[in-house]
Amino acid sequence: MDSRHDHLYIGGAWVRPSTERRLAPVDPSTELSLGSVPEAVEADVDAAVGAARAAFDSPGGWASWEPSRRGEVMERFAAELDARARDIAALVSAQNGMPVNIARQLEVGYPGAVLRYYAGLARETGFSEVRAGLLGGSVEVRRLPVGVVAAIVPWNYPQVLSMFKIAPAMAAGCTVVLKPSPETVLDSYLVAEAAQAAGVPAGVLNIVPGGRAAGAHLVAHPGVDKVAFTGSTAAGRAIGETCGRLLRPVTLELGGKSAGIVLDDAELDPAVIGQDLVAATLTNNGQTCFLSTRILAPRGRYAEVVDLVTDLARSLPVGNALDEQTLVGPLVSAAQRERVEGHVAKGLAEGARLTTGGRRPADLDRGWFLEPTVLADVDNSWTVAREEIFGPVLCVIPYEDSKDAADAVRIANDSDFGLGGTVWTADPERGAAVARRVHTSTIGVNGYLPDPVAPFGGTKASGLGSELGPEGLAAYLRFQSVYQSSPADGREPAGSGAEPRDAGAAHQHTPMTATTTTLTA
Ligand code: NAD
């Protein structure tokens, strides 16, 4: 596989980069180069923001289109992504080590579903409604696109996490500058090609492959109106500080350390629970933000849970991410593997009991592999239970048995993070009752997969705001209330009086004034 690109996708065209600098992703399964692309630097980011700004501000542009027309383009975009599914899955696997079977389920198909879902929401959402006032007159409530969006994503799910931002932004009428992570820039070219083939208007989507400096420049750029970020809590804090200073709306999807609560009635047969438990705890080699990596086991069944988790982890085939049989691929980089190994060593030093893994597989002499690892007898106060590891490492923590699983809920909530979690039980009602007491923004009963119809995000150190669902669309809208001192008579509201930045959006009420639909799917 050798993928080389010499241009950047800016303003709907393939343009020359401003410098000779390049990014060269490496296959973590083989340590071989996969190709290279231009690295976007500040001047390229400026050009991309300029193109997005022009596309947003131009009269008659994207923001002023009827939402159903935007939806048609988004559906064509989804179809073009489908047409590239094979190549996208292979490129993602080769760049970040995600087993190709998982890439086919989560990195293709799912992004298209998100695009189609938001295309539907664009059609169904009322972007303007008139409310009878309590004070005699009426109020026109307008939902306007927030403007130019800076979308910054990590390497672990480059396609899905890009689409969590691009799709609602496009539905709302925003324009986007996407900054992929240096490790996964190659697949972003397929997104650009799909957008171009689908007829996404020039400047609505621009892509700047770059590192932290390009990201920081984009976040603080005066032409940007909103930042949508997924990545580490450390970077999220830095971005949040910048946005706070600029009073710029920001969505932050950050790290996690979620709990998987095994209730005392759970079915511990691997044939029943195995696949879902592995998916909820180890997907993508443990490099997934929401995984239930702290497994909480009732003392009465503690040994059974440790045995189950150990047997499952040991049974997973480790190997090249492009091999169809592989269920655990490599870590994304040598540095990441060393970091994860450091966590395992620290856990053992803190007193954990290693029941499987902890080593580099003997039969794989190239690639940044680590055996799936289980640390038992962990105390929730230890570093290994408090910090995000981001590798195939599970901690099993005992809790005191009781009908309401109070001790498990206490331990689950004793975390700086608040992203995901799971409850495992033979009684889904009981599971839901326990799940509702866990202080995270998402949680699953007997499995976990973020559904596009519902908000996904984190609380505490896991982030601010939500993606997905109608709530994810609302994050790309701002409101304007136009007070009428006499009751509305159904006529078109006169002149927008909008500032230049609203020029496109100002046209938006025309097709939507009659509807009073609210923000529901
Ligand atoms: P990272 O924070 O190092 O980088 C993420 C992206 O931000 C990259 O594109 C990077 O170039 C850019 N970036 C880094 N510092 C920046 C800055 N100061 N300003 C602007 N841009 C900056 O994260 P990573 O190592 O690529 O990804 C792993 C992390 O992402 C994990 O902590 C994981 O939990 C988190 N994550 C969260 C979610 C979620 O939805 N909550 C989903 C996936 C991953």
Best CA proximity match to 227, nearest among 52, 420, 456 = 52
With a cut of 80, say whether residue 299 has pLDDT above it.
yes
Task: Report CA(432)–ligand 1 centroid distance (Å).
Answer: 31
pLDDT tens track for 52-109? 999 999 999 999 999 999 999 999 999 999 999 999 999 999 999 999 999 999 999 9
With a cut of 60, say whether residue 425 has pLDDT above it.
yes
Q: Best substitution site from 212, 288, 291, 416 to test ligand 1's pocket, by max atoms within 8 Å of Cβ?
A: 212
Secondary structure string (H, E, C) spanning 288-301: CCCCCCEEEEEHHH
DSSP 8-state symbol, 376: E
Q: How much is the pLDDT for 486?
A: 73
Domains and CATH numbers, the chain: 3-254+467-474 (3.40.605.10), 259-451 (3.40.309.10)
Q: Where are the alpha helices (DSSP H) in 222-333?
A: 233-246, 270-282, 302-315
> Which residue's structure tokens are 């609203």?
502
Whole-model pTM: value is 0.93
> Which residue's structure tokens are 């083989």?
30
Q: How much is the pLDDT for 491?
A: 52
253 is catalytic: yes
Task: Report CA(232)–ligand 1 centroid distance (Å).
Answer: 4
pLDDT tens track for 173-186? 999 999 999 999 99
With a cut of 50, say whether residue 509 has pLDDT above it.
no
Task: Report CA(157)–ligand 1 centroid distance (Å).
Answer: 11
Q: Read out DSSP for 58-103?
A: STTSGGGS-HHHHHHHHHHHHHHHHHTHHHHHHHHHHHH---HHHH
Q: How much is the pLDDT for 146?
A: 98
Q: For residue 153, how far is the Cα from the chain centroid?
A: 7
> Which residue's structure tokens are 């935007």?
70
Residue 148's DSSP bridge partners are 175
What average pLDDT score do residues 127-152 get?
96
Task: Locate the ligand 1 atom nearest the alpha carbon of residue 157 and give its number.
Answer: 43
Q: How much is the pLDDT for 487?
A: 54
pLDDT tens track for 191-201? 999 999 999 99
289 lines ligand 1 (CB under 6 A): yes
> Which residue's structure tokens are 């090609």?
193
Amino acid at 503: A
With a cut of 60, say whether residue 490 has pLDDT above it.
no
Confidence of residue 495 (pLDDT cuts 50, 70, 90): very low
Closest residue (by CA) to atom 12 of ligand 1?
Answer: 212
